[in-house]
Amino acid sequence: MPQVQLTRGEVVESSHPFSAVVVHDGQLTQTWGDDVHAAWRSAAKPFQLWCALEALGDPALSPAELAIGAASHAGQPGHVAQVRALLQRFGVEESRLSCGGHLPLNVSAAEAMLRAGEPFGPIHNNCSGKHTFMLAACDAQGWTGDYRRADHPLQRRVQETLTAWCGEAPRLGVDGCSVPTFLMPISAFGRAWSALARAMHDDGDPRLGRIGRAMAANPWMFSGDDRIDLDMMRGAQEPMLVKIGAAALYNVALPNRGLGLTVKIHSGVEAALPLAVEAALARFAPGAWARPEGFERYTVVRSVLGAPVGEARLVL
């Protein structure tokens, strides 16, 4: 089974086996490692946004507005401003967001808030765009605002939709942002992302294609500086969309090839993820991606002071 090793000095400190699967036109075509079960987490966001747009009646929205709706954003000022503008557009109060607050994922943005004594809130949560759309969908349909519940009309619609795209009904858990998350074999996630790839190529659901193309055109908006999604998109050599899920789950759509790729680090350690995704793309979609400038930072283990103390390396 393939793995990524993290060293400290000359010693292998930890080993992280991973699995990767490829789905083409809804069919599992290639596997590398086992088709393990996992939680989809934030890599499900394009499909959750699909359900919110359906409930809203497909309003006219800019690509950047759509991208923030499927984002795991870094909480930088541009992200916060975009979410705040959407809240105002939809007439939603920030206090109604049920995602909880945390400091921005971007270190510089977090440090700036701490220096200024600015409190963080739900709008800084990396999922605040998704929650804004969910609340707006509830208001548009006259549903209650307790959209975190698995039996809420919006969440039931999400579950129905994912069952159709994934080819099986998910088991449910609770995501870090408190809405339901979905547990299935990683091939099921790949099946949905292959549908997203086809839709981005105008060979599938128009709403899903609109979401995918908006995200691909605005990678910073659904990610942010120093985030793996932005770095992966910078290395794209052909049309591509990527999305991280927590605990080292990763999805890729390749529209020209009609492929959906899922990578899962079994340990959930995200430091091992970049090399695993790079290796999976090289194996299953040669030529689709090349290392962008600065990607080498993912191969170095550093101390808090920034000194190199080890490396990340692929072992096949």
Give me the mean pLDDT over the 20-32 stretch.
97
Q: Can you give 52-98 as a three-state secondary structure string? A: HHHHHCCCCCCHHHHHHHCCCCCCCHHHHHHHHHHHHHHCCCHHHCC
- Predicted local distance difference test score (pLDDT) of residue 90: 98
- Predicted local distance difference test score (pLDDT) of residue 171: 97
Percentage, residues of the chain above pLDDT 90 = 99
- Predicted local distance difference test score (pLDDT) of residue 240: 99
- Using CB atoms within 10 Å of the CB of residue 38, give its burial: 0 to 12 exposed, 13 to 18 middle, 19+ buried: buried
- Predicted local distance difference test score (pLDDT) of residue 155: 98
- Predicted local distance difference test score (pLDDT) of residue 63: 98
- Predicted local distance difference test score (pLDDT) of residue 239: 98
- Using CB atoms within 10 Å of the CB of residue 296, give its burial: 0 to 12 exposed, 13 to 18 middle, 19+ buried: exposed
- Predicted local distance difference test score (pLDDT) of residue 5: 98
Give me the mean pLDDT over the 92-97 stretch.
96
With beta carbons less than 8 A apart as the criterion, state whether 230 and 220 touch: yes
- Predicted local distance difference test score (pLDDT) of residue 39: 98
Give me the mean pLDDT over the 159-174 stretch.
97
Model confidence pLDDT, tens digit, residues 99-153: 999 999 999 999 999 999 999 999 999 999 999 999 999 999 999 999 999 999 9
Mean pLDDT across the chain, nearest whole number?
98
Place of tokens 């206090």: 95
Model confidence pLDDT, tens digit, residues 41-92: 999 999 999 999 999 999 999 999 999 999 999 999 999 999 999 999 999 9
- Predicted local distance difference test score (pLDDT) of residue 175: 97
Give me the mean pLDDT over the 237-263 stretch.
98
User: What is the pTM for the complete model shown?
Assistant: 0.96
Percentage, residues of the chain above pLDDT 70 = 100
- Predicted local distance difference test score (pLDDT) of residue 101: 97
- Predicted local distance difference test score (pLDDT) of residue 249: 99
With beta carbons less than 8 A apart as the criterion, state whether 134 and 148 touch: no
Q: Which residues pair with 244 in a beta bridge?
A: 250
Give me the mean pLDDT over the 224-246 stretch.
98
